[in-house]
Amino acid sequence: MPQNLTLEDIARITGVSRSTVSRVVNDHPNVSEDVRKRVMEAIRETGYQPNAAARALASQRANTIGLILPHSVGFLFTDPFYPLFTTGIAQMCNQTDYTLALFLVGSQKDEDKVFERVSRGGLVDGVIVQAGHHGGQAIIHKLVKAGIPTIVVGRPFEALDVHYVDVDNLSSAYTAVTHLIRLGRRRIATITGPVTSTVGIDRRQGYLNAFTDRELQTDEALIAEGDFTENGGYYAMQQLLSARPDAVFAASDAMAIGAMRAAKEAGLDIPRDIAFVGFDDLPAAAKAQVPLTTIRQPVYDFGQKTVELLIDLINNDPKSPCCTLLDAQLIIRDSCGAKLASA
């Protein structure tokens, strides 16, 4: 098979001009169907691979998606959510012939540099930005103002003119706490995410709504703030122990696992003395010493869906900004005490 074929070679084989071959390769509409078929057949038979840079120049597309994560490198690779989420994004980019460019933003200086790069024509076709916290709002404003196709992961703090993808954190947290109430637990504590994040705020509100709808009293002593890490859950649980909770809803699996460790060290039996429900259903949940009941959010699918929506935004006229909510479900294991209640 001929190697290093050029547009001129395909033009000579098919008897058309180089510019006509270029129009076929870049899917230009002003080519007759007969010529298009002839050129495509020659491409298939010869194994010709169009130069990616040349195609991008001709189509004014980079075929590259930017992923902006406003976190430190350490947090990115220690939080079990992000590797799975990023894998979903990368796999969908591979399937759709897009290259993924990763940008980490940990400071205002980083943000300015990253925005300058992604707003420069020809580097990326669109951007995914994870910014469900106060610090991520500024770069969203800049991306929207610059007219760059953007999908935000997580509910933004402000009603920005932007598309975003999330799970229904309010409803999911409500489901988790309702499950514990139905099992007869009444001193139900929660370890929230950071109050600087919309996910932390929404899951805390879902916890409160479950009590309000049943006209049950809440106790501020049963609410502790965490940081989505196992150690954060451990230290938050140590604060809660004096309030004598009989159940805990933690806003992430990592925090739930840390909290269960603190409860065990305090001599409490799980789930007889205290029940736990987490959020995420990452692999560690099922492998915990006491398998963790949790809210399963489709983290991998989350990443894939975000890419699908962004590509649609890149290829089509932007529609009115919308919110896409993915389904989450309660996964019942040993830590909540459902088996004790049914015995």
Tell whether 16 and 77 lie within a shared domain.
no
Average pLDDT value for residue range 324-340: 92
Is 1 inside a domain boundary?
Answer: no
What kind and span of H or E run contains 176? helix 169-182
Q: What distance in Å separates the CA atoms of residue 8 and residue 42, rounded to the nearest whole number?
A: 12
Tell whether 123 and 204 lie within a shared domain.
no
At 213 the pLDDT is 96
Nearest to residue 100, comparing CAs of 318, 303, 316?
303
Helix, coil or strand: residue 322: coil
pLDDT tens-digit series, residues 221-245: 999 999 999 999 999 999 999 999 9
Nearest to residue 70, comparing CAs of 251, 167, 197, 253?
197
Q: What distance in Å separates the CA atoms of residue 224 and residue 204, rounded to the nearest whole number?
A: 10
Between residues 301 and 160, the one the model is more confident about: 301
Task: Kindly report the pTM of this predicted structure.
Answer: 0.78
Tell whether 192 and 274 lie within a shared domain.
yes
At 1 the pLDDT is 42
Question: Please, are residues 131 and 117 in contact by the beta-carbon 8 Å criterion?
Answer: no
Tell whether 230 and 92 lie within a shared domain.
no
In sequence order, the 6+-apart residues with CB closer than 8 A to the CB of 65 are 89, 93, 98, 99, 100, 101, 124, 125, 126, 127, 128, 307, 310, 311
Total structural domains in the chain?
A: 3
Helix, coil or strand: residue 10: helix
Return the sign of the alpha-carbon dihedral for residues 27, 121, 161, 139: positive
| Residue 87 binned pLDDT confidence (cut-offs 50, 70, 90) | very high
Tell whether 98 and 47 lie within a shared domain.
no
Last residue of a domain, one of 27, 43, 59: 59
In sequence order, the 6+-apart residues with CB closer than 8 A to the CB of 62 are 56, 99, 122, 123, 124, 125
Is 230 inside a domain boundary?
Answer: yes
Tell whether 160 and 304 lie within a shared domain.
yes
Tell whether 120 and 23 lie within a shared domain.
no
Which two tokens mark 340? 């004790």
Tell whether 202 and 337 lie within a shared domain.
yes
Q: What distance in Å separates the CA atoms of residue 257 and residue 41, rounded to the nearest whole number?
A: 58
CATH number of the domain that 335 lies in?
A: 3.40.50.2300
Between residues 170 and 78, the one the model is more confident about: 170
CATH number of the domain that 33 lies in?
A: 1.10.260.40
Between residues 235 and 3, the one the model is more confident about: 235
Give the strand pairing for 223-225 and 163-167. unpaired
Is 49 inside a domain boundary?
Answer: yes
Is 314 inside a domain boundary?
Answer: yes
Is 2 inside a domain boundary?
Answer: no
pLDDT tens-digit series, residues 64-85: 999 998 766 556 667 778 888 9
Tell whether 70 and 158 lie within a shared domain.
yes
Tell whether 286 and 183 lie within a shared domain.
yes
Percent of the chain past pLDDT 70, that is, above it, reads: 87
Give the strand pairing for 293-296 and 329-331. antiparallel
| Residue 190 binned pLDDT confidence (cut-offs 50, 70, 90) | very high
Cα 260 to chain centroid distance, Å, stands at: 26
Is 189 inside a domain boundary?
Answer: yes
Tell whether 336 and 224 lie within a shared domain.
yes
Tell whether 308 and 293 lie within a shared domain.
no
Which two tokens mark 6? 């050029």
Q: What distance in Å separates the CA atoms of residue 82 and residue 31, rounded to the nearest whole number?
A: 45
Q: What distance in Å separates the CA atoms of residue 23 and residue 46, rounded to the nearest whole number?
A: 18
DSSP class of 335: G
**Gap between the terminal Cα atoms of the chain:** 71
pLDDT of residue 179 exceeding 90: yes
| Residue 92 binned pLDDT confidence (cut-offs 50, 70, 90) | very high
Give the strand pairing for 126-130 and 150-153. parallel
Cα angle: 262, vertex 168, 313; to 5 degrees: 130
* Domain, as residue range, for 162: 64-167+300-326
Average pLDDT value for residue range 130-152: 79
Is 154 inside a domain boundary?
Answer: yes
Average pLDDT value for residue range 25-43: 80
Question: Please, are residues 337 and 180 in contact by the beta-carbon 8 Å criterion?
Answer: no
| Residue 215 binned pLDDT confidence (cut-offs 50, 70, 90) | very high
Average pLDDT, the chain: 87
Q: Minimum mean pLDDT among 27-36, 61-70, 252-261, 300-309: which range?
A: 27-36
Is 177 inside a domain boundary?
Answer: yes
At 143 the pLDDT is 87
